[in-house]
Structure 1
Amino acid sequence: MKELYLMRHGQTLFNQLHRIQGASDSPLTPQGITDAQEVGHYFEQINLTFDHAYASTQERASDTLENITDQPYTRLKGLKEWHFGVFEGQSEQLNPQNDPIRHSYGDFFVPFGGESDIQVQQRMNQTLTEIMEKPDHKRVLAVSHGGACFVFLKKWLPFEEIQKQVPNFHNCCILKFAYSNKEFKFIEAINVKQI
């Protein structure tokens, strides 16, 4: 059984300012750097090592990974955050209400040059499956983004279970999955700050 540790990046300036980030970028805050370093210390304390590490091509994800470990890693566009089109960089107050059936923003951003939840989910699932299918990938760390990780998790865990098992998906939260036969099984959410 293989293991995937899928992590949300550290806190950024846009997180602090409550701005929509998506495909745009903003730097990690001092708190974001500290939290990522704490994750690295946690992995060292429990003697957890990774065969391979990956990050989205966005700076906030790769900077998070570089504050966790100095091991080499690969940047992949498939791990990028949900693209929110013309809403990028705007106030989070402009976000729509969640679609009551899909429990996400659904197709809302598509007419504005963004992606749908299904597009992001398919992209994330394809990318992570390709990673985990590599023969020498037994335990993998991948740093991605809140929206992208959430819709990926929603593919493999019912929304009601997400509410129970992942009540706080904060920056630097880690989602642990087991992987076998092209399927992911959610194991647990790890919030190092709460350990």
Structure 2
Amino acid sequence: MKSRRTLRVAIAGIAAAAMLFSFSAFSAPIAESAKATITRAGNENNGKNAEVDIYLTRHGKTWLNETGRMQGWSDSPLTESGVLDAEHLGRGLAKADVKFKSAYSADMLRHFQTISLALGELGYKDEAVRDERLREVSFGKFEGATQAEVLTAVKPYLTGGDPKAFLAAIVKANGTSALPAETYQQVGARATAALNDIAAAQAKKGGGNVLVVSSGITIMAVLDTLGADTSSLTAGIENAAVSKLVYKNGTWTVVSMNDKSYVEAGAE
């Protein structure tokens, strides 16, 4: 499988926001895997001081990705290519002799399909635990809308071209809708809290590898919350890409981001 690459671009104004958004909500080619190592404090009372390696992975491509529509708390099944990526992910991890002690996913179909297919290739016998805190950001009344519709609606509220500014504009454009829209900080906080709980629980069991499947903006928000330099990820997180996080003694280290090597190895 060919590695997909894009040029690193400057982010400014609505044009850049559209590019960032098009990957975060949908599927598009992105830059090759970036690497970073940083640390941030997690839970303090984590029981045993065993190391926990989190393989934080985006779900495979979905029907709503394919049709260019907003997919936050909305859901749709994997496309054929999404299924293949999930299977290739599992095969690639197996080739690398990565064995998992536990597995978690967001609570929606696309996440559970992805992790179940990957774990099937790994011979993992248990079912992944679903945690709603790992789901994608909520886009409020814009759920299911097209990218063009959303860009038109949020343009008057945009103050920059980064994900934080874009989601803040969506919150403002969402107005008094009964359907909640989340900020970048909110999704980062809830997903990081979930990972803290997952890692602390696994540390008490002696540590080991944990597979976690979430969504693109959520993963970006987690990486930023943990202090990683995500400036190279100008187009977001690719479908089925892995970001490896290490948790030890209540501290997080981000080892890699947006790594497609397992999927590529599994496709060979």
TM-score by length of 1: 0.90
Alpha-carbon displacement from aligned partner over 1:23-71 (angstroms, at most 9, x marks no partner)? 0001100000000000010111111011100010010000001110133
Which of structures 1 and 2 has the larger relative contact order (alpha carbons within 8 angstroms, sep 6+)? 2
Alpha-carbon displacement from aligned partner over 1:6-39 (angstroms, at most 9, x marks no partner)? 0000000111111110000011000000000000
User: Offset at 1:156?
Assistant: 1.9
Aligned residues: 193
Q: Indicate the RMSD between aligned Cα atoms, in angstroms.
A: 2.1
**Residue aligned with 2:232, SS:** helix
Report the identity percentage.
Answer: 26
Q: Give the letter aligned to residue 213 of structure 2.
A: V
Distance change >3 Å, CA 127–CA 168, structure 1 → 2: closer
1:36 counterpart residue number: 86
Cα distance in 2 for partners of 1:122, 1:18 equals 27
Distance change >3 Å, CA 174–CA 87, structure 1 → 2: same
Question: Highest CA radius of gyration, 1 or 2?
Answer: 2
Select which of 174, 178, 181 maps to 2:249.
Answer: 181
User: Offset at 1:108?
Assistant: 2.7
User: Offset at 1:180?
Assistant: 2.0
Q: Which moved more, 1:178-187 or 1:93-102?
A: 93-102
Select which of 96, 100, 103 maps to 2:160.
Answer: 100
Select which of 230, 239, 246 maps to 1:162.
Answer: 230
Cα distance in 2 for partners of 1:166, 1:102 equals 9
User: Offset at 1:164?
Assistant: 3.0
Cα distance in 1 for partners of 2:90, 2:62 equals 18
Determine if contact 2:92/2:264 at 8 Å carries over to the other structure.
Answer: no
Determine if contact 2:246/2:254 at 8 Å carries over to the other structure.
Answer: yes
**Residue aligned with 2:99, SS:** coil
User: Offset at 1:187?
Assistant: 0.6
Select which of 124, 130, 136 maps to 2:197.
Answer: 130
1:121 aligns with 2:188: yes
Cα distance in 2 for partners of 1:81, 1:182 equals 25
2:111 counterpart residue number: 61
Alpha-carbon displacement from aligned partner over 1:153-178 (angstroms, at most 9, x marks no partner)? 111234xx323378662100110011
Distance change >3 Å, CA 19–CA 81, structure 1 → 2: same
Q: Give the letter aligned to residue 59 of structure 1.
A: L
Cα distance in 2 for partners of 1:63, 1:194 equals 19
**Residue aligned with 1:7, SS:** strand
Cα distance in 2 for partners of 1:102, 1:185 equals 24
**Residue aligned with 1:22, SS:** coil
Distance change >3 Å, CA 78–CA 12, structure 1 → 2: same
- Structure 2: gaps spanning 5 or more residues: 1-50, 175-179
Cα distance in 1 for partners of 2:244, 2:234 equals 11
Cα distance in 2 for partners of 1:6, 1:124 equals 11
1:191 aligns with 2:260: yes
Cα distance in 1 for partners of 2:55, 2:81 equals 21
TM-score by length of 2: 0.66
**Residue aligned with 1:163, SS:** coil
